[in-house]
Amino acid sequence: MAAHLKKRVYEEFTKVVQQQHEDLSTKKLRLTKPSKSAALHVDLCKATSPADALQYLLQFARKPVEVESVEGVVRILLEHYYKESDASVRLKIASLLGLLSKTAGFSPDCIMDDAINTLQNEKSHQVLAQLLDTLLVIGTKLPENLSVRMRLVEVACKHLTDSSHGVRNKCLQLIGCLGPVEKGVAKEAESQAAKDVQKIIGDHFNDQDPRVRTAAIKAMLQLHERGLKLQQAIYSQACKLLADDYEQVRSAAVQLIWVLSQLYPESIVPIPSSNEEIRLVDDAFGKICHMVSDGSWVVRVQAAKLLGSMQQVSSHFLEQTLDKKLMSDLRRKRTAHERAKELYSSGEFSSGRKWGDDAPKEEIDTGAVNLIESGACGAFVHGLEDEMYEVRIAAVEALCMLAQSSPSFAEKCLDFLVDMFNDEIEEVRLQSIHTMRKISNNITLREDQLDTVLAVLEDSSRDIREALHELLCCTNVSTKEGIHLALVELLKNLTKYPTDRESIWKCLKFLGSRHPTLVLPLVPELLSTHPFFDTPEPDMDDPAYIAVLVLIFNAAKSCPTMPALFSDHTFRHYAYLRDSLSHLVPPLRLPGRKLVSSAVSPSITPHEDPSQQFLHQSLERVYNFQHLDPRGIQELLEFTIRDLQRLGELQSELAGMADFSATYLQCQLLLIKALQEKLWNVAAPLYLKQNALASAAAKQILEETYKMEFMYSGVESRQVVIIHHMRLQAKALQLIVTARTTRGVEPLFGMCEKFLQEVDSFQRYFISELPHMQGSFVDKLLDLMPRLVTSKPSEVVKILQTTLRQSTFLHLPLPEQIHRATANIIEPTGESDNPLRFTSGLVVALDVDATLEHVQDPQGTVKVQVLYPDGQAQLIHPKPADFRNPGPERHRLITQVYLSHTAWTEPCQIEVRLLLAYNSNRSKASTRVPKSTWSESLEALPPSENGIEGTIPFSKPVKVYIMPKPARR
Amino acid sequence: MPEIKVTPLGAGQDVGRSCILVSIAGKNVMLDCGMHMGYNDDRRFPDFSYITQNGRLTDFLDCVIISHFHLDHCGALPYFSEMVGYDGPIYMTHPTKAICPILLEDYRKITVDKKGETNFFTSQMIKDCMKKVVAVHLHQTVQVDEELEIKAYYAGHVLGAAMFQIKVGCESVVYTGDYNMTPDRHLGAAWIDKCRPDLLITESTYATTIRDSKRCRERDFLKKVHETVERGGKVLIPVFALGRAQELCILLETFWERMNLKAPIYFSTGLTEKANHYYKLFITWTNQKIRKTFVQRNMFEFKHIKAFDRAFADNPGPMVVFATPGMLHAGQSLQIFRKWAGNEKNMVIMPGYCVQGTVGHKILSGQRKLEMEGRQILEVKMQVEYMSFSAHADAKGIMQLIRQAEPRNVLLVHGEAKKMEFLKQKIEQEFHVSCFMPANGETTTILTNPCIPVDISLGLLKRETAIGPLPDAKKPKLMHGTLLMKDNSFRQVSPEQALKELGLAEHQLRFTCRVHIQDPRKEHETGLRVYNHLKGILKDYSVQHLPDGSITVESILIQATAHSEDQGTKVLLVSWTYQDEELGSYLTSLLKKGLPQST
């Protein structure tokens, strides 16, 4: 806010003064930049002490260096390197060498020999390590050059015997990143050292320094990532490392074991101290499970995470992870879970009142009890009870992944997941609810479990409740009591938190449609009907009653006998709800109620087809009759657009498609209209005012194309081409209009050039799509390109005008799934009459709660705009953490917007809306252009010339009443 | 052979009166100084006369370490230090130091004021005793004297509970005190690094128990409380002032917060309130959740829990009350119980063990009609629930700790003999370490094999490492040098330096050996043959033929002379210094085999 206010101040004080260009100078001065290398050389020579030299180098490092001068700079640096006696300066030089070789577009093979040479006489270990790092950078910049890589690996192998851990670390890293991966290559390369990188790295698993051991394991993992198949022999080595004293080593070793278990799941390993053998993946699973009770939580998190992805493990191993034999005074005891299950199966309600009903029963043989199992026993039991919530979350995630792949395991882990609903940390609770939702197809909740689940409905956190509603949407409940319980708890929830209304209704909708047979016996009770007496008609506006009806109607959809139980007013209410809450109440076939059944379209399934057909037909019509006379086309377009828009309103599934095509047709319509203006036929100067329509049209088309490109999800490259094509046409139109209306040619030069550039970049981006665009504007334009480049602006304009008129209308193919991004601000509601009062100059926080649908990457694109009555607009970027993702393609923005203003005399309304920011650079088209991998390391990337940033409003504005009061003195 | 001696004065095959004497490398340390809850006579305190019959204990003990503030671990402290007499340092953690005197004072009040005992320590003695206490931080290495150092590790159990590592030179002992390996609502889990002590002295209260997940217990507890409150009933939870009370408070507080409940929660004033104050202060000793959130809000600043007033018990509507004492035998909890017992909507939850004879024990065993004083019959209609919340490690936890610390020996205390037997067998079987379980007064001796650090001069180290293959720190390496034991320290120095320091002259020791060889040729020819022969075999050594006909291999001199009597026999004189013994003897054996037949 402060920054924003400051900006305002600056805006008031800065005035833009436009200078008239005196561009008549015919002579051009060409300035050559002073050579960087020379300057550096001078600086370094001037340096009297190492500290001085270091300062110069530090200053130098802050500025980017152009590609052309890199080599020169490197030479200078190397020269100084040899002269320098101070290790810290040499270190800086070495690091600079690395930085410089990262420069995009610079090929470092020319400096490689020098860099290797510097290693020879270096005594300082730190400098040596830095130099190796530089070599690593060089090596990664030249991934193709095999001999270079081999040489570097050889150099690294030579320095592996260094006494400093830092140097050995870097060597291993280098070998890991550059070591030969392909089998055949290793043979070709004659060098002794590079023959078996795995062995070299493996030898350092036993290094004395833990950091080097870690580096060795990491290097091994790096090799694996680069595609080298690790040898199975490493497995036993890695297992030993699991008992290392240092946590980094153990953590890396766990990863290595996991990698090996994925590579050789089926091979057989012996169990030490017995003759048995088991599958490697099982053995690894057991070992990683063991690490879940490691002393370091970093390792525990790592281990718990990896467990989730070991899906090949045999089921009895898997089930052991949930096993924990309880005992009390050497007698076997049943776990609470087992007791609950037993109570459930015996049909008895849990009394829980007896003291000692958990009393231990049978005696255990002391010899048979294994207190520390080497296997997977109880790994998840431990993980879920861990002290650190990071471990617990990781364990829950792992549980989720394993349960998704194994239904029997899902059934078993249910009890534990339900327990996690009571964790002390909200994140863990939320995570376990989500997990449960994900595995819900595999499970059916028992009544006692449901009870625990439902208890969470009273949670004060909205996220938890909503996650739970989502979970209930897709759970299977086993008994009618369960349904009743769920309904009762949901209604309780509703009275406690009325804002959850929508979410609860939705939840009941699914609950009803999933369990029609269980709902059926409950209907009389729920509707409180009586066989003899008429009961009073419930209040139609009561959200609780609506909730009950939603449940019943959705169950009735697949249970035709149910409507017989309804009373008269229920039918009336049905008709009302079907209209008012059509997304929650399904169409029902109700016998004897003609009124109702006629209101609903007769059948459900073929329902979609006609409208889809209609959509396609109307689009067909437009594309086919494009050779009609202009007036006809215009009318046809207008009608079709109207039809499509109406269709979009009626049919939510087709809304995206209909809107998308309607927008496209709208653009075309505007284009046609603009081209039919009279102004084209008349001499330019006379019609200065008349062009308003044409230029407005051009502007609007541009806007619409941005909307089409960025507001719809599921847009494919085929559509993007056509959108860009339309935009190109609009730009051409703009150019023509400007040419027509402005006097003089000077401004046109720039515009023409820019336009031609755009045509050019269009061609570059969409070269593959051009064959599909026969007869289009751009097709014709490209044919004329040689002529255009050489001709004068006025000619260009003429050519453009004719091509624009002659070009055909491109058929817009519809993608499979296309959805328009929508946003709905739930809060603030805009209904409040009470102004939000605050002292002027201070800030007030306004809670904004909105649902976003079909928005890709909302964190990057969605902004909140606040519009003050004085026309001042403020743009707020919500934090990434403010976005929740409750379901696919759906997001929820819960954020706070800070408002501030100077004092007003009376309350006034501000507007809050959501905007979708876009940047044409980030468009789907440009992602195809290969980006240089090092580009992010260099801050000075010039923004490309056609990067247009803008925003599209995509929610209805909400008005908030505010009143900044003057501060009291 | 150096040894560690351990003698439990209390808690040997027993629970209560923890007091263990450890003597390690000439240092005597006393671990804990507790009282026994079961006795009211002399047996309630450890028998300090075992240490010395007369005279002050200070001369015999180097330090005393208290693991946590429970009375069975610190109850005898004022008696020990003030009445028996000990002036040395007493170590405990900061929270223990803060809370310990409160409990001691409470204990003193009950014994002296209520039971009317005399000859008991006074308030002043408690204060004097606490002045001798040195507080330590977690993971802080405290030097008791030049050799003895101690270090505290987190132990869970109660606020401020710690495990202590006692270290003298390379020998070390870890004493766990009471600890908990599973975290609870307010404390974290015990943790220790891989310190590989010679001896681990661990508690074994639950040696034969493996417990169920605490989540089920918590959930049951909360569900019961919640249901009763929703019905409009009142819930009474009798607790002891410290430890579990705070855990349950946090549990209920967070639950109330989460579920947005409005019913009031009270806890009885007095001790609990004071204790809560300390819990608020020592946030760093609590678990992750409390530590992370205390910036926004200190979890012990309860929003829903208020101080209890006697009058509140008669208020209508639901409420939850924590009241002391925990066994319903007297005081506030009993008063409230009598008021509420008649209503079946109410509930009493016993969160811990109850001694036989108390009201708590009676109602737990299902008695519904209680005879109160004044021949009153109290009919108990309220629901009675039992929930066990215990903060000791179970068998699995103990094993887990042993696995973490990797000790060479284990010693079990603080548990029942029969249960220890089982655990002992398990430990020996799984970890292959020896395990002991001495009874009170029984001394266990453990032999140690300590390593002795020796200083080496850098020059010598560099010189020695330069010889031979590259250093591999994982393997022991043989080094030549002189071991100098001087001023109670060990140093390895080069022989020259040792001579210089000790002011001794160097003696040369030379071996000579004659080898007879049958060779009819001339002396110098024999010499040449020997030279060629040696040159061929000893490729890595510098073999030289000197102008005077003698041969040198490195520094070994070989001369060939003709035998005075038999010209056909040549005598080879081999001479070497003591340092070249290895090469010299090799050469002689080589020469004794004779020269190869020349062609």
Q: Output the pLDDT for position A359.
A: 53
B131 and B15 in a single domain? The answer is yes
Q: Choose one of A571, A589, A607: the last residue of a domain.
A: A589
- Contact criterion met (CB below 8 Å) for A73 and A57: no
Residue of B nearest to A352 (CA): B385
> DSSP letter at B84?
I
Q: What is the pLDDT of residues A688-713, one digit of tens each?
A: 555 667 778 888 888 888 888 888 87
| Number of domains chain B is built from | 4
Q: Choose one of A542, A568, A589: the last residue of a domain.
A: A589
A387, B183: Cβ pair inside 8 Å? yes
Q: CA–CA separation, B202 vs B20, rounded Å? A: 11
pLDDT above 90 (res B198): yes
Q: Output the pLDDT for position A355.
A: 44
Q: Output the pLDDT for position A655.
A: 79
Average pLDDT, integer, range B552-572: 79
Taking the CA of residue A448 and the nearest CA in chain B, the distance in Å comes to 12
Q: Output the pLDDT for position A215.
A: 92
HSE, CB side, 13 Å, CA atoms: give it for residue A116: 18
Q: Is residue A868 domain-resident?
A: yes
Q: Is residue B599 domain-resident?
A: no
- Contact criterion met (CB below 8 Å) for B595 and B528: no
Taking the CA of residue B282 and the nearest CA in chain A, the distance in Å comes to 18
Q: CA–CA separation, A903 vs A966, rounded Å? A: 5
A794 and A737 in a single domain? The answer is yes
Which residues in chain B are closer than 8 Å to A353, comparing Cβ atoms? 383-385
B258, A324: Cβ pair inside 8 Å? no
B88 and B164 in a single domain? The answer is yes
Containing domain of residue A426, as a range? Answer: 260-324+373-442
Q: Which of A54, A67, A49, A42 is nearest to A95 (CA)?
A: A54
Q: Which of A375, A251, A396 is nearest to A323 (CA)?
A: A375
Q: What is the pLDDT of residues A774-814, one digit of tens each?
A: 777 777 777 877 777 777 777 777 788 788 777 777 777 77
Q: Which of A402, A381, A401 is nearest to A392 (CA)?
A: A381
B148 and B78 in a single domain? The answer is yes
As a three-state string, the secondary structure of A346-397 is HCCCCCCCCCCCCCCCCECCHHHCCCCCCCCCCHHHHHHCCCCHHHHHHHHH
B96 and B204 in a single domain? The answer is yes
Q: State the CATH number of the domain containing residue B582.
A: 3.30.310
Q: Choose one of A806, A840, A859: the last residue of a domain.
A: A806
Average pLDDT of chain B is: 85
Which residues in chain B are closer than 8 Å to A333, comparing Cβ atoms? 212
> DSSP letter at A52?
H
B131 and B24 in a single domain? The answer is yes
Containing domain of residue B551, as a range? Answer: 510-593
Name, in order, each residue with C-beta under 8 angstroms of A597's C-beta and a sequence gap of 6 or more. A589, A590
Q: How many CB atoms lie within 10 A of CB B322?
A: 28
Which residues in chain B are closer than 8 Å to A208, comparing Cβ atoms? 472-474
Q: Output the pLDDT for position A851.
A: 84
Report the b/e string of A4-32 with b at 16+ CB within 10 A: eeeeeeeeeeeeeeeeeeeeeeeeeeeee
| Number of domains chain A is built from | 5
Q: Choose one of B502, B527, B542: the last residue of a domain.
A: B502
Rounded to 5 degrees, what are φ and ψ at B532? -65, -40
Number of A–B residue contacts, CB under 8 Å: 114
Strands across the sheet with B489-493, in order? B455-456, B489-493, B482-486
Give me the residue label for tokens 């501030």. A900
B205 and B232 in a single domain? The answer is no
Taking the CA of residue A295 and the nearest CA in chain B, the distance in Å comes to 6
As a three-state string, the secondary structure of B118-175 is CCCCCHHHHHHHHHCEEEECECCEEECCCCEEEEEEECCCCCCCEEEEEEECCEEEEE
Residue B146 among the catalytic residues:
no
Q: Output the pLDDT for position A3.
A: 53
B575 and B492 in a single domain? The answer is no
Average pLDDT, integer, range B174-198: 90
pLDDT above 70 (res B210): yes
Task: Answer whether B386 touches A (CB < 8 Å).
Answer: yes
B212, A326: Cβ pair inside 8 Å? yes
> What pTM was estimated for this model as a whole?
0.74
Task: Answer whether B365 touches A (CB < 8 Å).
Answer: yes
Q: Output the pLDDT for position A187.
A: 47
Q: CA–CA separation, B464 vs B467, rounded Å? A: 5
A748 and A790 in a single domain? The answer is yes
Q: Which of A671, A676, A687 is nearest to A725 (CA)?
A: A671
Taking the CA of residue B114 and the nearest CA in chain A, the distance in Å comes to 33
3-state secondary structure of B297: coil
Beta-bridge partner residues of B152: B138, B164
Using CA atoms in the order B389, B393, B396, B397, what is the torsion angle rounded to 10 degrees? 120
A800 and A859 in a single domain? The answer is no
Task: Answer whether B223 touches A (CB < 8 Å).
Answer: yes
H/E element, B22? strand B19-24
B366 and B224 in a single domain? The answer is yes
Q: Is residue A4 domain-resident?
A: no
Q: Is residue A304 domain-resident?
A: yes
B384, A355: Cβ pair inside 8 Å? yes
C-alpha triplet B337, B341, B347: angle, nearest 5°: 85
B480 and B587 in a single domain? The answer is no
Which residues in chain B are closer than 8 Å to A245, comparing Cβ atoms? 194
A53 and A166 in a single domain? The answer is yes
Q: State the CATH number of the domain containing residue A150.
A: 1.25.10.10
- A326-330's contacts with Cβ under 8 Å and 24+ in sequence apart are A326/B210, A326/B211, A326/B212, A327/A360, A327/A364, A327/A369, A327/B208, A327/B209, A327/B210, A327/B395, A328/A360, A328/B208, A328/B209, A329/A360, A329/B208, A329/B209, A329/B419, A330/A363, A330/A364, A330/A366, A330/A369, A330/B208, A330/B419, A330/B422
Give me the residue label for tokens 């209308």. A809
A283 and A220 in a single domain? The answer is no
- Quote the ipTM score: 0.79
More confident residue, A810 or B105: B105
Task: Answer whether B213 touches A (CB < 8 Å).
Answer: yes
A385, B182: Cβ pair inside 8 Å? yes
B298 and B167 in a single domain? The answer is no
Q: Output the pLDDT for position B151.
A: 95
Q: Is residue A594 domain-resident?
A: no
A765 and A832 in a single domain? The answer is no
Q: Is residue A838 domain-resident?
A: yes
B412 and B350 in a single domain? The answer is no
Q: Output the pLDDT for position A944.
A: 39
A244 and A123 in a single domain? The answer is yes
Task: Tell me which of A949-958, B81-90, B277-286 is least confident.
Answer: A949-958
Q: State the CATH number of the domain containing residue B93.
A: 3.60.15.10
Averages of pLDDT over runs of 10 residues in chain A (969 residues) are 51 48 49 58 74 82 76 81 83 85 77 80 85 86 80 85 86 86 52 65 85 92 87 87 90 92 87 78 87 89 90 82 67 66 50 46 58 65 87 91 86 85 86 87 81 84 85 85 89 86 88 88 83 78 88 87 84 85 81 46 48 78 68 81 82 78 85 73 54 78 84 80 84 80 72 82 78 76 79 78 76 77 81 82 85 82 87 86 78 85 86 83 43 36 49 84 82
Q: Output the pLDDT for position B172.
A: 93
Q: State the CATH number of the domain containing residue B376.
A: 3.40.50.10890
Give me the catalytic one of B171, B203, B253, B464. Answer: B203
B66 and B111 in a single domain? The answer is yes
Give counts: helices (H), strands (E), chain A.
41, 16
Q: Is residue A481 domain-resident?
A: yes
A208, B474: Cβ pair inside 8 Å? yes
Rounded to 5 degrees, what are φ and ψ at A610? -60, -40
Q: What is the pLDDT of residues A550-585, one digit of tens each?
A: 998 898 888 888 888 888 888 888 888 888 887 888
Residue of B nearest to A427 (CA): B289
